[in-house]
Amino acid sequence: MSRNTMPDHRTGQRFVVAMPVQAEWDDASSGKHVIAEGETENVGPDGALVHLPQLPRVGDRITLVVRDAKEQLARVAVEVLRLERNPGHPLAALQLLKASAEWRGRVWETAGVLASTADENEFDDF
């Protein structure tokens, strides 16, 4: 067993669901304002893991807009906790800077509904 394991401090259930997102931040090294379109990998009650073609840096504070098929669900401030620099599928783990009823009510609960619908339809092709 490895002694270098980090404890998991996440609270609440995470839903594996792809929801469109837009992330905005100012790149400290270039000074440019970056707008990146992507999608969620999973959504939790306090943040999300998102796929973005261009990644911010760990510790950056960014604005994240989450949408569903019809409308904007939330616009929130998040901090980048960690990055997965897979060239084919770069990911950023994001955490809300402050608790948000809007996030839990509009994003997390919508993700739960979408995930349960996907689970129900998983075997429809058989």
Residue-wise pLDDT tens digits, 13-61: 999 999 999 999 999 889 999 999 999 999 999 999 999 999 999 999 9
Which pTM value belongs to this model?
0.84
Q: Tell me how far apart the alpha carbons of residues 116 and 20 are, in angstroms, rounded to a whole number.
A: 18
* Residue 119: predicted pLDDT: 59
Query: What's the CATH number of domain 15-119, 1.10.357.10, 2.40.10.220, 3.40.50.880, 1.10.3720.10?
Result: 2.40.10.220
Which tokens hold the place of 1? 């067993």
- Residue 42: name the closest of 120, 86, 122, 108 by CA: 108
Domain ranges of the chain: 15-119
